[in-house]
Amino acid sequence: MSEDSPAPLHNTADIDRHLHWFSAAMTLRNTLMSDVRTSVSLIGFGFTVAQFFRHLMVTSTGAALELGANMPRNVGLLLIGVGVVSMVASTANYHQGVVQLKGVRFVEVAMKTWSSRSAYLVASAVMLIGVLAFLSILYRF
């Protein structure tokens, strides 16, 4: 047996605890991925709102100007900002959960090879895209 492979689980109680641990780990990851979907939706909708109304204001001057010249920009920035802040908060919560699942309390049933790098990578990419979209809207108007 290599050092990286987990010790075999011999009794039913250890197997049950391991499966509960694995279920908690997957639930934690699924929660982060649903938060990623929500953040992507907010960021995408914010960018779309800002661009659509900007285009509308350029093509029609009468009714669109009644909304206020900066309203589309501000709404878009607000939605994008909420999406980015939501992603930061969700990633921080995910990290706290990962730290707890890899802590001493679960050391005998935890998967030693379980990695959360891909989840962090996806969350970081969404945050970066959100920040770039925010800056694009902020400096284009």
As a whole number, mean pLDDT of residues 121-140 equals: 93
Return mean pLDDT, the chain: 84
Q: Which helix (H) or strand (E) holds 31?
A: helix 12-59
As a whole number, mean pLDDT of residues 100-106 equals: 84
Query: Can you tell me the distance from the alpha carbon of 120 to that of 90, in angstroms, rounded to the nearest whole number?
Result: 11
Q: How confident is the model at residue 104 (pLDDT cuts 50, 70, 90)?
A: confident
Burial status of residue 12 (CB atoms within 10 A of its CB: 0-12, 13-18, 19 or more): exposed
Angle at 90 between CA 86 and CA 94, to 5 degrees: 170
- Give the C-alpha distances (Å, rounded to integers) separating 18 from 24, 25, 66, 113: 10, 10, 61, 13
pLDDT at 36: 96
pTM value > 0.85 = no
